[in-house]
A and B are shown apart, each in its own frame.
Chain A
Amino acid sequence: MENPNQNLSSPKEKFVKGFQKSLNDPQLRKNFRNASFALKSMRQTAFPDEAAFKELQELGHRIKMKALKNLGPLLRQLEQKCQEKGIQVHWAESTDEANQIVLEICQRNNAASVIKGKSMVTEEMHLNHFLEQHKIEAIETDLGEYIIQLDHETPSHIIAPAIHKDKKQIAQLFNDKIEGAGYTEVYEELNAIARKSLRKKFYKADVGITGVNFAIAETGTICLVENEGNGRMCSTLPPVHIAVMGMEKVIPTLEELPPLLTLLARSATGQPISTYFNMINSPRKEGEKDGPKEVHLVILDNRRSQIYQDEHLQKTLLCIRCGACLNHCPVYSRIGGHAYNQVYPGPIGKILAPQMNGLESTGGVHNASSLCGACGEVCPVKIPIPEILLRLRYEGVNKSRSSKVHEHGTQQNFKESMAWKFWEKIHASPVLYKTNSGLGNLLNSVMPKNAGPLKNWSEFREVPQFAAKSLHQLAREKGVADE
């Protein structure tokens, strides 16, 4: 896997270099701006009435919250129902365990090649890389995933993985990497090239691997949302289908599915419903002419159970992976997905990645937010992303042993703590505060503009001037009551 930042030491440095690189790349800036504008408009069209959206959002929130509150029993019910119908269920605490489970299934079936439907959870596992180390070819079949796999990249968006590329870049890539493709910028022709190349892979694959959008506990049903039909091929053509899910994907009954599906498709791409919606209930039964002979469901924890233990932070697990928060984020739409150096970029990534992989190890991505709240506003299941960001900032400097957040307290540094202590002293004392703010004119002249915190401010902004008289003084002079 190409990693231009591998020589840098700290995760923070990697993150900074990553976003600086994006910000200095006009092509990338343009691609993200156009794509996020398009996705935002499509969502807007799908939810024309704000009040109706809020009602549906509330319903989505309640459904997922209810499922989350009952997570343990629901997962056990799901396992039992699946097993009754011949779906083999596997539990993985870590991504290593999940990879091992997938590998064993592949090896038992003498698999040389695997086709994959789009799945973020397998990105969490770095499954493709792992399989290739074990001499199993893993081919992405979602068009966006296929494009980035050709270019040895990772997804830059959770539903539109190749969003960072425009038509011309894709045309060039196909021309360079696919034999006999030629150069074309016509969408239909580009699609046809990918389809032709992938079709052969579908026929010869030994195992199909997909993610899971929802798993229904009551019926043991694996639900897969997709637009290209590749997910259906991955789950029906090869003799073995492995579905991998994060443990938060389970919902109680089929009845809860329609509102969530409506929210997911509309929030993601503005579609009333996705082009394909697959409900997988069992392997091929006797007398049936198609479908896999084996269906496996791998349920992955990967620190989700740790996130689950905190009643506020567990709302991170409500996510249905629509990507709306990315499209509406003023930071993501400027720096793009790769800059974060995380599997999950954007607002959801800023709260999920630090909890999965550690506040320090993820480079402080949770700090890179202006807290504008656009993410929380559009989230179809009302995840309070800004509040969780604030909580993680607190956990970053919280050294208490009672904190359950991975790498809590690691963001505290002496200089910053002292600065806030100093700030506290001044603002908790009316006398000190008044002395300080009464020094307006003096502070204007002595505050260094090109050093300290003002340096970053003054590089592209004028430094604000302290007023000659504070509001405290003006209010006194005008005789405003002080009680």
Chain B
Amino acid sequence: MNHPKTPHVVDARYMEPPEPFVQTMEMLDRLQPGERMLLLLFREPHPLYKILRQNGHDYETELTADGTFEILISR
């Protein structure tokens, strides 16, 4: 799935936990330095945020009108 922000997208909006977490971590493993990935969810993943911070990833979150949280994560 392509998105204007990045071609690397995990659309986890209809996935059951812990699948969004697993797929995000797998995609982060595959990203090259400097690349960014986008996680789409209908909630803010605070446990994931904590792990991203611990692992030195930057992220920014935007809530869109339909209730999707777009979380842009740097490698």
**Chain B associates with chain A:** no
A interface list, Cβ under 8 A from B: none
